[in-house]
Amino acid sequence: MADKPKQTMLPGYNHNVNYKGVTFHIQTEDSGVNNPHIITLLFVGGNIIARKKLSYGDIIKHERLQDVVRELMQEQHKQMLKELKAGNYDTHPLVLTELNKRGITPKPAPVVKPPAPAPARVAPEFKEKPAQKTIELREDQELRDEDIFAGDIISDKSLDEVILGFLAQRLEEEEK
């Protein structure tokens, strides 16, 4: 494995998000090239209510790996914020309990095709990390990158567009 590039894990993103009177915590982490994936977790009351995982094992030899991984992390973190704002987690039992305490009726849950059952395995231990900042999020509010990442430059591209753009660039570089 000597041909793997050396890369330290990138620092993650941690935000507390006040939404509908409930404090959520969103945390995105890079696991590094020895376990090349990005994990985003959504917590409420210290409990994980949503998780996203993206593997980047197919790109670990890219010369700008840290830049690409940082952009992928930001896109995945932002996607979780968008889903929270859209009400996608309003009907989770833990969120529903918190909303009911505040007299808030959630929107009907979006219709989503259930995923295929995953094989049984032992889940790793994840603990909520301190937030870098708190974001106030309202349904009528525009979600702006500068409010999330404090001026870090990211694009308005979807995660699919970021990956396709990266793969196209990689193909061009290989053809040279």
For 80-103, how does the pLDDT look when each residue is reduced to its tens digit (9 = 90+)? 999 999 989 998 999 988 888 888
- pLDDT tens for 53-85 read 999 999 988 888 989 999 999 999 999 999 999
Please give the model's pTM, rounded to 2 decimal places: 0.63
Contact assessment for residue 80 and residue 60, using Cβ atoms and an 8 Å cutoff: no
What are the start-end ranges of the H helices in the chain? 65-85, 93-101, 145-149, 159-175
